[in-house]
Structure 1
Amino acid sequence: MTSRRSTAVCASTLAAALALGATACGGDPVTAAGGDGKALAGQTLTVAGVWSGAEQKNFQKVLDAFTAKTGAQTRFVSTGDNVSTVVGSKIEGGNAPDVVMVPQVGVLRQFAARKWLAPLPEKVEKSVDSNYAPVWKGYGSVDGTLYGLYFKASNKSTVWYSPDVLDQAGVQPPKTYDEMLAAARAVADSGTPAFAVAGEDGWTLTDWFENVYLSQAGPEKYDRLARHEIKWTDPSVVESLKTLSKLFSDDKLLAGGRNGALATDFPGSVEKVFGPKPEAGMVYEGDFVAGVAKDEFGRKIGEDAKFFPFPAVGGGKAPVVSGGDAAVVLKDGRNRKAADAFLEFLATPEAAAVWAAEGGFLSPNKALDTAAYGDPTLRATAESLVGAGDSVRFDMSDQAPAAFGGTKGAGEWKILQDFLRDPSDPAATAAELEAAAAKAFRTANQG
């Protein structure tokens, strides 16, 4: 097994190795387009994505590795959360990026419906067939054509906690949702609110719902609800909202109560657990919590910041919900050759290894040696994601039209914020969700 030290050395020298067409850390030859550092010299690739801060910085290292390998210069454009609007305006203005890192399945489908996307090269499709679980190809395809390569994924079924706080309360990481609520009450009774909930960011609330729903209702219903083949007024939805209300309705379990949760954004929720003055014992969100805890607050992942899998609800199985960013090629981009070469590069484990070493990143690519991850905890979250195979389910809100599942202050985000504010009537919330979903899907289908 590769040692942590050798993994770090391998990661730090990877970009240089790529430039020389060397072998990958595991000894396999680098095969992405070019390899002599000159194949695309003089060309510039423009890549757009939502990332900023540490994520943008880490993705830039991937872009730099591509430059070292091919000679192509790169330019990253941050779109913010409204990817569809920003990319649409750039296309209309004749300034389309070559590649877009799309964070939502629904947006990818929207782009394809508008005829903005080029099918991915055959070489990329072969890599996906060989090295990805079939579910990932399905999420990247529209009507049987592969348009999106999932480069970055996340395990959104992780609950992060302070070992000191749980030890003080005398509780162990729970295996079921009811055990988690019992542990939360014990933590609260010990003097620390149990959960920091990032209610100011509506997307975190959709993630809470999706984990409960996948476990409680099962994958078949999850898929049907994601496609709006069953209504949000279905009894299974109401039941999951009731389950979620057991947490949301108990103010003593939430840092700052419901009002405090609604005033807390995602980084703030991590700070409440792992910051200099802890205000809660646990925070639910994806594996990317580790990056914030480590980079912003100096926590040692696996020591003073740990996680347990989102627990099973009722008689269901423990859920594995994922999100991710798919690379797509725009037809109107100015540099198709560089774009195709970049997608070929992203499909390799070498590209994934660059970011894996930095943290805050998981790859659904089975060919990536998990030794590339910088610490055992991230390795465990990656192994859980890849090991789930076809049972992984993509974030449901990210599969929906953006008007329902991906718009700040509207649709599912806003309705679940209202539910957090007052979780007393799950049936009424389900009716609101159905009205918003029906409108958004109807508009999307017409478009």
Structure 2
Amino acid sequence: MRLRGHRRLTAALVAAAALGLTLTACTGDIADEDNADVDCAPYDTYGTFEGKEVTVAGTILDLEADRLNESWADFEQCTGISVEYQGSSEFEAQIAVLAEGGNAPDVGIVPQPGLLARLATGGWLIPASQAVEDNVDEFWSEDWKKYGTFDDTFYAAPLMASIKGYVWYSPAEFEEKGYEIPKTLDELTTLSETIAAEGDHKPWCVGLESGEATGWPGTDWVEDFVLRQSGPDVYDQWVTHGIPFNDPQIAEAFDAVGGYLKNEDMVNGGIGDVSTQVTEAFQTAGLPILDGECSLHHQASFYETFWNPDGGDDVKVASDGDVFGFLLPPVNADDPLSVTGGGEFPVAFRDAEEVEAFRAYLSSDLWANNRVSLGGVISANKGVDPENASSELLTQSIEILQDPETTFRFDGSDLMPGAVGADSFWKGIVAWVGGEDTKQVLDTIESTWPTS
């Protein structure tokens, strides 16, 4: 049973300790009117740290932040560690500055391996404990472990995950109009052209606005096309600069995406003309599907949360519901399944037993199942039961990540150096959608790649 009101309970424990009383939070001896006792047996391995605090920061906000706090509520009560989370949309821009000034949180939930590498290079990160590494070796693939490693030092386990490249749509509209789920990229083009020709609305709705990170949803489009058109080897060469950013294979992907994002016939359904992609928030861009004002929206599995931003269930996400998603198809129908995705990595800035106990919990199958059961997210942790996911689509997503036959590649911009992946690539997308040609944009991005 999930604990609520755990901070009040922790305060009671501290007060009792001050009076010389002995209370054990995990034996069923403590309760208040707002919560039920927790079975602490699964948490025994993490130890007890009464009165200790771990501060955490990241980009996770609003409903997802609430769920994150709930995912470690039992851990807090059973270990005595108080976890204080602070979410900020400026986390990525500020964390290196905070670390340099000695003001970093104990744990930072980093969404980019490139940013992890930057923090490790600065000498600010604490290597992961053996307990964390043991969990990763048991529950995660070698690729995922590699994303939390820099210069042969393992710093962080993966946390949540996402599959990018879903195309969200209305099952009812598809049934009513006889649309088929496309099996190839050519069939996707044909479907888009069919919807455009009918004249009711533009087929695609797109939002690229995300504050200082405006443009990143467009990078996801390009990455999906590079992986599908040119394959994983070229993708790997691209993100590591084994081939230049302005390589013809990357230009091919940009031009294919441009057939949608730079085409007035294709976007921006229910929102405006092509230019509105840059001003429309990515969180709201898919919502015109619900009003029949567009038919297709390209966004990751985590977009499920944005259909019901208040945490309700008014919008049903299912193959027979209000919205559902299919994966951006391959070039050929019989091509192996290849997907891009993302994730987060809890890095440590303070060397302390309570910090590593907390990170060990986050790297476990226990935490992964707890969080997935709360809804809206997935994990690539092999110990996750897909049936714990909150929707048909998320169950499918977990199964895809757990399938050894799936070709998975981490989000390319997140793997690139920050000067490119979190700067010139994002800005390049904005300039490109705004009218700059592909060659000009790719040459500019290539010029920003660090020389060392």
TM-score range, shorter chain: 0.7 to 0.9
CA distance in 2 between counterparts of 1:12 and 1:306 reads 32
Aligned length: 410
RMSD, aligned α-carbons: 2.3
> 2:343 is matched by which residue type in structure 1?
G
1:385-435 Cα offsets, whole Å, 9 max, x none, are 22256721000101112222124xxx1111112212226x32222212211
Question: 1:187-336 to 2 correspondence within 5 Å?
Answer: 187-190=195-198, 191-200=200-209, 201-254=214-267, 255=269, 256-274=272-290, 277-296=291-310, 298-302=314-318, 303-313=321-331, 317-330=336-349, 333=350, 336=352
The alignment-based identity, stated in percent, is: 28
* Structure with the higher helix share, 1 or 2: 1
Distance in 2 separating the partners of 1:138 and 1:104:
13
Structure 2 residue ranges without an equivalent (≥5): 7-25, 27-35
CA deviation after TM superposition for structure 1 residue 31, in Å: 6.1
Query: Which structure has more RCO (C-alpha within 8 Å, separation ≥ 6)?
Result: 1
- Residue 117 of structure 2 corresponds to residue 109 of structure 1: yes
Query: Does the CA contact (< 8 Å) of 1:405 and 1:413 recur in 2?
Result: yes
Q: 1:123-142 residue pairs with structure 2 within 5 A?
A: 123-142=131-150
Residue identity opposite 2:256 in structure 1: T
Q: Note the alpha carbon deviations across 1:267-326, whole angstroms, 9 max, x for none.
A: 12122223xx34211111100111111335821010111110111136864431011110
Query: Which SS does the other structure have where 2:55 is aligned?
Result: strand
* CA displacement, residues 232-253 of structure 1 (integer Å, 9 cap, x when unaligned): 1211111111211221232121
- Match of residue 447 from structure 2: 435
The correspondence for 1:355, drawn from 362, 371, 395, is: 371
**1:121 partner letter:** S
Give unpaired runs (5+ residues) of structure 1: 1-9, 23-28
Cα pair 1:310 1:318 within 8 Å, conserved: no
> Who wins on radius of gyration, i.e. which is larger?
2
Mapping of 1:342-421 within 5 angstroms?
Answer: 342-387=358-403, 391-407=407-423, 411-421=424-434
- 1:51-90 map, 5 Å: 51-83=60-92, 85-90=93-98
Deviates more, 1:192-201 or 1:309-318: 309-318
Distance 1:328 1:390, change over 3 A: farther
CA distance in 2, matches of 1:287, 1:271: 15
Distance 1:68 1:82 in 2: 28
| 1:166, distance to aligned residue in structure 2 (A) | 2.5
How much does 1:20 deviate? 2.7
Q: Give secondary structure in 1 for the equivalent of 2:286.
A: helix
Contact 2:240 2:416 in 1 (8 A): yes
**Which secondary structure does the structure 1 equivalent of 2:265 belong to?**
helix
Which secondary structure state, in structure 2, belongs to the residue aligned with residue 357 of structure 1? helix
CA contact (8 A) 1:135 1:390 kept: no
Between 1:362-371 and 1:251-260, the stretch displaced more is 251-260
Q: What is the rounded CA distance, in whole Å, between the counterparts of 1:154 and 1:12 in structure 2?
A: 27
Task: Give the distance between the partners of 2:345 and 2:169, measured in 1 at CA.
Answer: 30
From the superposition, tell whether residues 116 and 19 of structure 1 become closer, same or farther in structure 2 (CA, over 3 Å). farther
Report deviation, 1:354: 2.2
Structure 2 residue corresponding to 1:185, chosen from 193, 202, 206: 193
Provide runs of 4+ in structure 1 moved above 4 Å: 10-13, 15-19, 29-32, 314-318
Tell me if the contact between 2:375 and 2:389 (Cα under 8 Å) persists in the aligned partners.
yes
